[in-house]
Structure 1
Amino acid sequence: MEDDDDALYTDWLAQACRSNGVKVWSYYLMPNHIHLILVPADETGLSRAVGETHRR
């Protein structure tokens, strides 16, 4: 991923987490994957937030 890609991905992740009630405690973008510590407000928030982010 390039720097512009990193910024775009984090924006998408932030939007999806906000709209699905998921708190982002930590993230680390690697060249070919990402580490996330996310805390959902309900049982479906996590899958919705990550799914929305990765379907873009």
Structure 2
Amino acid sequence: MIFLDQIGEQLHRSRLNKILREHGRNVGVRKEIRCSPHDCRHYFAQKQLRNGIDV
């Protein structure tokens, strides 16, 4: 999967991790809570399963 920045260039994994950490800090996510693409996917999947998504 490829994510692009504002000028259409590829965002690298390290930059995407940094963006998520910055946004997590800005919205008040506690320091002991990791905020990464993997953690976001995991959280979303858990929420969907708890809400009864058809696997």
Q: Which has the larger radius of gyration?
A: 2
Q: TM-score range by the shorter chain?
A: 0.3 to 0.5
Normalised to the residue count of structure 1, the TM-score between the two structures is 0.37
Q: Choose between structure 1 and 2: higher strand proportion.
A: 1
